[in-house]
Amino acid sequence: MKATIITIGDEILIGQIVDTNSVSIARHLNGAGITVESKLSIGDSDHQIESSIRTALLTSQVVVITGGLGPTKDDITKHTLARIFNSELRYNDTEGQHIESLLARRGIAFTELNRSQAMLPACCTPLHNAHGTAPGMWFECEGDAVVVSLPGVPFEMEHLMQDEVIPRLKKRFMLKSIVHLTLITHGIAESLLAERIAAWEDALPDYMHLAYLPAPNIVRLRLSAYDVERSEAEVAMRQEFGKLEQLIGDHIVGEEGASVESNVHRILSERGLTLATAESCTGGNIAASFTSMAGASAYFLTGIVAYSNAAKSNILGVDSATIERHGAVSREVVEQMAEGARRISGADYAIATSGIAGPSGGSVEKPVGTVWMAVATPTRTISMMRNSGTDRQQIIKRASAYVVEMLYNELRKL
């Protein structure tokens, strides 16, 4: 079963936005056993939309389109679809009422343009968009193919894929599984890795395909198998990866999927432990990453963004003399920050960061990128310093990752 994804919008072609919709749609389709053969991005052009859909239907049984369903003049997808399917636009009462009440809840007037969003090709099955004003559309074509049109707003598209499109595709087609399993390696260059595991790669069963995905200090090894029984294939692929333990054991990080944050989230939730944060250079990024996960309120008590020295002293109780003597970016201060956060929040664990995110503020001894990190636990406080380059966003991201990993290493000992 093959699919083509078409994303519509001039903003994609001029590089004004990053197309994450097609990433999510590809994952959903793969998860349901449907192979994405190609992804295409085109402009808001009637001609391009029509010819792309017609071409896609030559090789794909499923075509998923996003974008061009807004209320304004540059959104033309619906009109093109009506024409392709020889259908006329008709007002859909159910969707119209939904749009009206949704806007009312947000205090926005229902205008003629909003009304036009409930005009749908008569031949389509509307897909109810609980989170927005543009309904999705499901078209059944001759010869068993399906064309689906979804709004381009990412989270609306996401809910429609999950709640409407995938269940309908599973009902309509008999689908086998696609299985991807990824092993993350670190500290070995792609070419050396490939040489080291060449014999293993050559001996893989024909239906398993190996891919190398290099990134700084990391290479992902992905095994893929198409049109298989999921559980059998997963067992066989794990057995193959198991053989790598002897060849490159030192370089294996683990399977793709769980992030360090989500592992910490799970351990704290399961064990009824609590967390506080005291952030200087990471500026709330760590607190935001935990609290973005549903259920965080069970363990996340307090986060302090102590950007000023006064905040470090007054709120976290860091000794002003220590700041004076060692500077705010120091082992002594970051340890007191972590301990202070633990104390004032009553949390079991606290993590702290203090560093120079730049672009200014660096010195010879403490250049931009210098970050001290600490973790205070019920039994001790540990700390370390890392330099994380010169780019402000990268420094914030990397320091956040390092200190959460420090916490994770402590929690893993439990």
Q: Is the peptide bond before 359 cis (omega within 30 degrees of 0)?
A: yes
The span from the CA of 360 to the CA of 297, in Å, is 36
Cβ distance 196 to 247 under 8 Å?
yes
Which C-beta is closer to its own copies: that of 139 or that of 300? Answer: 300
What residues does 386 pair with on adjacent strands?
Answer: 371
The span from the CA of 148 to the CA of 161, in Å, is 10
Which C-beta is closer to its own copies: that of 89 or that of 315? Answer: 315
Which C-beta is closer to its own copies: that of 374 or that of 396? Answer: 396
The span from the CA of 101 to the CA of 110, in Å, is 9
Minimal distance in Å, beta carbon 123 to its own copies? Answer: 26
Minimal distance in Å, beta carbon 374 to its own copies? Answer: 18
Which C-beta is closer to its own copies: that of 123 or that of 204? Answer: 204
Rounded to 5 degrees, what are φ and ψ at 221?
-105, 120
Minimal distance in Å, beta carbon 128 to its own copies? Answer: 14
Whole-angstrom CA distances from 249 to 181, 222, 256, 382 are 17, 16, 16, 28
Minimal distance in Å, beta carbon 138 to its own copies? Answer: 21
The enclosing H or E element of 386 equals strand 381-387
Minimal distance in Å, beta carbon 86 to its own copies? Answer: 26
Which C-beta is closer to its own copies: that of 235 or that of 310? Answer: 310
Which C-beta is closer to its own copies: that of 25 or that of 150? Answer: 25
Which C-beta is closer to its own copies: that of 15 or that of 380? Answer: 15
The span from the CA of 351 to the CA of 335, in Å, is 9
Total number of residues shown for the chain:
414
Q: Is the dihedral of CA 221, 224, 229, 233 positive or negative?
A: negative
Minimal distance in Å, beta carbon 91 to its own copies? Answer: 16
Between strands 370-376 and 349-355, the pairing is antiparallel
DSSP line for 147-181: EEEE-SSHHHHHHHIIIIIHHHHHHHS---EEEEE
Minimal distance in Å, beta carbon 79 to its own copies? Answer: 16
The span from the CA of 43 to the CA of 183, in Å, is 37
